[in-house]
Amino acid sequence: MSGKRTERLTGTIVKALSGYYYVYPDGRADDSVSDPIQCRARGIFKKKGLSPLVGDKVVYSVAETGEGTVDELLPRISELIRPPVANIELAVLVFSVTEPALNLQLLDKFLAHIEHAGIEAMLCLSKSDLAEEAEPEETAARAALADVERIYAPIGYDIVVTSSRKGAGTDALLERLRGRLSVFAGQSGVGKSSLLNALVPGLMLETNAISSRLGRGKHTTRHCELVAIGDGGYVADTPGFSQLDFQELGIEELGYCFREFRALLPDCKFRGCTHVHEPGCAVIAALEAGEVAQSRYDNYVQFLGEMKEKKRRY
């Protein structure tokens, strides 16, 4: 026998660079640190208009020369447009309790987009050490922690509180990342790189503190790459990634992307109720009864306004 081995191998694309795809084999041991296999994609993909993405599950083969080929793309369960990553199952929304201050509007925007994409979302409240001291400046940080628990726990979002500085919450977070592909999203400076470094021994991503000392912006030369984590899990490390970008979210879909509103919609008097001024609206009734958080409702109305404005302009 010469040429290619015929064995059917499967794996995950962890990196795409200069026409090569780097494939991590399935079934690797938990703590193995084997190098990914460098592969070319078969010409047939280009002809079919298919473009392999980081995160794609693939069938590949390895020639006796050691050169790999991606032979087949397995069906995708999700697809993120920017950065281009396939098969994300969990989005970890990282928000710091302070520095930068908690921005509930941004949080609700992220959540709406993630609901729209059908990806599970969880909240990670970072830098909890900054809420612990008894200084007056820490009051806002403690209030942020309390707000997130009050608003998001009752509507079913999983919340993990972490401090990379103190090593708190990393085990709980690691538990959630096992065996699936996750992406960390959040504003720059909330501590995403520090968290990944705390989760993956030996990773050593550059954090803001280091890069400012070196006098250059961080993430300038990096590209989207998957970092292997326990039990076949991966985390997409997404440089300069602060805004999740999914397919266009339609105005009529926004209500579905606020999960507690979605649950109430069948009780609204009118089909297609936008929950703004319609009589017999179950969302407004729940808001008045204190069962829907005011901030969630206000942000919803705000986004609806922004979407209408955008539509008017185009």
* Binding residue for ligand GDP, selected from 12, 61, 69, 194, defined by CB under 6 A: 194
Which DSSP category does 168 fall into?
A: B
Sign for the pseudo-dihedral over CA of 5, 11, 12, 15: negative
Based on CB atoms, which residue is closest to Zn ion, 148 or 273?
A: 273
Give which of ligand GDP, Zn ion, none residue 281 binds (C-beta under 5 to 8 Å, depending on kind). Answer: Zn ion
Tokens of 42: 């078969």
Of the pair 84, 239, the CB lying nearest ligand GDP is at: 239
188 interacts with ligand GDP by CB under 6 A = yes
Q: In angstroms, rounded to a whole number, what is the distance separating the alpha carbons of residues 76 and 55?
A: 9
Closest approach, Cβ 246 to Zn ion, in A, equals 24
Q: Which residues are within 8 A (CB) of 268 and not within 5 positions of it... i.e. 6 or more apart?
A: 275, 278, 280, 281, 282, 283
Told to check if 169 binds ligand GDP by CB under 6 A, we report no
Residues in 130-159 at the binding interface with ligand GDP, rule: CB under 6 A: 130
The minimum distance between CB 140 and ligand GDP, in angstroms, equals: 14
Q: Which of 25, 84, 100, 189 binds ligand GDP (CB under 6 A)?
A: 189
Count residues near ligand GDP (CB under 6 A): 18
Are 147 and 131 a contacting pair, CB within 8 Å?
A: no
* Residues of this chain that bind Zn ion (CB under 5 A): 268, 273, 275, 281, 283
Give the nearer residue to ligand GDP in terms of CB position, either 52 or 186. Answer: 186
DSSP E strand boundaries for 104-194: 120-126, 158-161, 181-185
Q: Cβ(73)–Cβ(23) under 8 Å?
A: no
Q: Which residues of 147-184 are buried (b: 16+ CB within 10 A; e: fewer)?
A: bbeebbeeeebeebbbbbeeebbbeebbebbeebbbbb
CB-based burial, 199-232: b 16+ in 10 Å, e otherwise: bbeeeebbbeeeeeeeeeebbeeeebbbbbbeeb
Minimum CB distance to ligand GDP smaller for 193 or for 274: 193
129 lines the binding site for ligand GDP (CB under 6 A): yes
Binding at 87: pick from ligand GDP, Zn ion, none (beta carbon under 5-8 Å per type): none
- Tell the smallest beta-carbon distance from residue 151 to ligand GDP (Å): 22
Q: Which is nearer to ligand GDP, 193 or 299 (CB)?
A: 193
Q: Which residues bind ligand GDP (CB under 6 A)?
A: 126-127, 129-130, 163-165, 186, 188-194, 207-209
